[in-house]
């Protein structure tokens, strides 16, 4: 359980609204929980985990904040537009957008799916959200060191297509930074090492047994879901770093560009 972590001061986000994509479970769920603990009204987005999203919503409403639950397929622009229309109807505007949802290791998906979700959908979600994001708002993109450093440091073959698609998404989003800054919207990439207990780590371990233990030994320690989510939540309120990048966990094994 991660509820004992309170990375943001109580009341520090009162009157603000935050949306986290892919927030029915894992890093997204803990991030949205931290925002609610800080007093923000929150939007829980899910693709196909409605009962889990509703259960989390009930928990967070108990904190005295307003919670909107919206299902959306982020690879479908109409679905994304419908989600933000609902956010606008309910809250009027948005102060924090966390681009957390990603994928590509799921079985049965076409080769192009990783790029559609990790690059094209991320840009589509951000561009659709911009009219709701006013001056002083913040966008956070969640990625991994394995993706962020993929151009200089090889990763496991099983993860490489996902890593490259995530880096392509990061690059496409970074191209939007000047226009975001003109509108007073801050943008931060949060990159973390492998995170214990995530779906990606589970799938990697299945494809490459021992991968997680090997990385843990190399790095010294790995963050768990709650710890990494706390860093994502802080990135939404801390000053934007000069290079728009917040690196979480060991980077000694990764070569910079």
Q: Among candidates 74, 81, 185, 181, which has minimal Cα distance to 121? A: 74
* Secondary structure in 3-state letters for 61-99: HCCCCCEEEEECCCCCHHHHHHHHHHHHHHHCCEEEEEE
Q: In this prediction, what percent of the chain has a pLDDT beyond 90?
A: 73
Per-residue pLDDT reduced to its tens digit, 173-209: 999 999 999 999 999 999 998 887 776 777 778 877 8
Residue 237 lies in a domain: yes
Per-residue pLDDT reduced to its tens digit, 82-139: 999 999 999 999 999 999 998 887 766 666 889 999 999 999 999 999 999 999 999 9
Q: What is the predicted pLDDT for the residue at 103?
A: 85
Q: What is the predicted pLDDT for the residue at 139?
A: 98
Write out the residue range of the structural domain in which residue 79 sits: 17-248
Residue 61 lies in a domain: yes
From residue 244, give the alpha-carbon distance in Å to each of 102, 136, 165.
20, 15, 19
Per-residue pLDDT reduced to its tens digit, 213-234: 888 888 788 888 999 999 999 9
CATH number at residue 113: 3.40.50.720
Residue 50 lies in a domain: yes
pLDDT at 26 over 70: yes
Per-residue pLDDT reduced to its tens digit, 72-97: 999 999 999 999 999 999 999 999 99
Q: What is the predicted pLDDT for the residue at 110?
A: 65
Per-residue pLDDT reduced to its tens digit, 148-164: 999 999 988 888 889 99
Residue 3 lies in a domain: no
Residue 12 lies in a domain: no
Q: What is the mean pLDDT of residues 36-44?
A: 98
Residue 11 lies in a domain: no
Query: Domain total for the chain?
Result: 1
Q: What is the predicted pLDDT for the residue at 1?
A: 39
Residue 257 lies in a domain: no
Q: When comparing pLDDT for 141 and 194, which is higher? A: 141
Residue 7 lies in a domain: no
Q: What is the mean pLDDT of residues 15-41?
A: 97
Q: How far apart are CA 54 and CA 84, in angstroms?
A: 18
Q: How far apart are CA 167 and CA 31, in angstroms?
A: 22
């Amino acid at each position: 359980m991660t509820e004992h972590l309170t990375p943001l001061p109580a009341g520090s986000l009162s009157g603000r609204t935050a949306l986290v994509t892919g927030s029915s479970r894992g890093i997204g769920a803990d991030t949205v929980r931290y925002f609610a603990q800080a007093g923000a009204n929150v939007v829980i987005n899910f693709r196909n985990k409605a009962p889990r999203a509703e259960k989390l919503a009930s928990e967070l409403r108990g904190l005295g904040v307003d919670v909107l639950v919206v299902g959306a397929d982020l690879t479908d622009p109409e679905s994304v537009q419908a989600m933000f229309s609902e956010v606008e109807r309910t809250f009027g505007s948005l102060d924090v957008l966390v681009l957390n949802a990603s994928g590509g290791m799921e079985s049965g998906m076409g080769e192009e799916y990783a790029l559609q979700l990790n690059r094209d959908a991320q840009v589509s979600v951000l561009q659709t959200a911009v009219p709701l994001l006013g001056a002083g708002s913040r966008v956070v993109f969640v990625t991994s060191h394995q993706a962020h450093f993929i151009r200089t440091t090889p990763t496991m073959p099983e993860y490489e297509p996902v890593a490259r698609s995530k880096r392509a998404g990061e690059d496409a989003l970074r191209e939007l930074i000047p226009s975001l800054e003109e509108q007073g919207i801050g943008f931060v990439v949060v990159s973390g090492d492998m995170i214990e207990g995530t779906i990606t780590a589970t799938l990697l371990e299945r494809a490459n047994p021992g991968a997680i233990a090997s990385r843990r030994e190399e790095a010294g320690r790995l963050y768990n879901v709650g710890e990494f989510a706390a860093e994502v939540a802080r990135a939404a309120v801390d000053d934007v770093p000069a290079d728009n990048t917040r690196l979480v966990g060991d980077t000694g094994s990764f070569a910079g560009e």
